[in-house]
Amino acid sequence: SGNAASTAGGGGGSKQIKVGFAQEGAESGWRTANTKSLQEALGSKNGIKLTFSDAQQKQENQIAAIRSFITQGVDAIVFAPVVETGWTDVLKQAKQAHIPVILEDRDVDKADQQYITSRVGDDFEKEGETSCKWIADNFNGKGANLVVLEGTAGSSAANDRTTGCAKALQGTDIKTLDQQDGNFTRAQGKTVMEGFLQKYGNKINILYAQNDDMGLGALDAIKAAGLTPGKDIQIVTTDGTHDGLTALANGEFNYVVECNPLLGDDVAKVVKDVVAGKKVDKLYLAKDQAFDQAAAKAALPTRKY
């Protein structure tokens, strides 16, 4: 009969899981790959019905999206917090509604950890440390000058990369001339680098851009100033997107530390386990590697993002 046919179908009779995913924006190549990974995994192949929202890097938009997921009565909320602080009220509301909250990518601060079931992400502090260890290894003892394009002010990705970098530079003679927020975008990476070049001219030896996109934007500014990126100014970035590794293979970047954005499958597994009442870990960290120019050339043909 019709009934037998419908219960025999793919889901085995188990009902769909409703998930609301509040993404923080669409600012970078990393973010594009991350959104795609989550949209694929939080879909029918895992028995999930997804509601997606893009907050355009604005906390108030992200809070509104989470509130609407609570009103809709989703089974789980996934979100990538644009900044670390300011979530307590909305997270309390989710708790009162008995909706588990799973972070993907960035973290919230200590005070709000009590409302978080689990986080799937990368180790940003280690990324910062790896980036600046390369700088220390190559420039310590040469009286070199560094400028830093930081990611979105108040984001855990930027805060932790800055902390990790400071650790690696401790005890070296590398001087940080300036560090400013480039909001993880190409446009702002370019504008802020133009300002650095106007202020410090050819005193700058090294640029640490906390993501590929800001580094790519800075390339325009450096070339417009008549300097050769990768030579006059050596450049270290984070992410390892296709565009970033291409600049590295071309000799315009010098070192790229990976930040894996393909978190969707791990997030889907955590969501399914939590909804099924299974115990999950508080933290799932992705594995990241680092690339020099030769490694980038080797990796590019099979790079997935």
| Binders in 112-171 for ligand GYE, by CB under 6 A | 122, 157
What CA–CA distance (Å, rounded) separates 100 from 4?
A: 33
What CA–CA distance (Å, rounded) separates 278 from 280?
A: 6
Which range touches ligand GYE (CB under 6 A), out of 25-33, 93-101, 250-258, 277-285? 25-33
Contact 24, 63 (CB under 8 A): no
Question: Does position 27 bind ligand GYE by CB under 6 A?
Answer: yes
Q: Give min distance, CB of 295 to ligand GYE, in A.
A: 19
Q: Give min distance, CB of 184 to ligand GYE, in A.
A: 4
Which range touches ligand GYE (CB under 6 A), out of 27-35, 36-44, 217-225, 271-279? 27-35
Contact 80, 264 (CB under 8 A): no
| Binders in 37-66 for ligand GYE, by CB under 6 A | none
| Binders in 169-188 for ligand GYE, by CB under 6 A | 184
**Interface characters, 61-100, with ligand GYE (x: CB under 6 A):** ----------------------------------------
Helix (H) or strand (E) holding 143: none
Contact 91, 70 (CB under 8 A): no
CA–centroid distance for 278 within its chain: 27
Sheet with strand 118-121: strands edge to edge: 48-54, 17-23, 76-79, 101-104, 118-121, 283-285
* DSSP assigned state of 259: -
Question: Does position 211 bind ligand GYE by CB under 6 A?
Answer: yes
Question: Does position 103 bind ligand GYE by CB under 6 A?
Answer: no
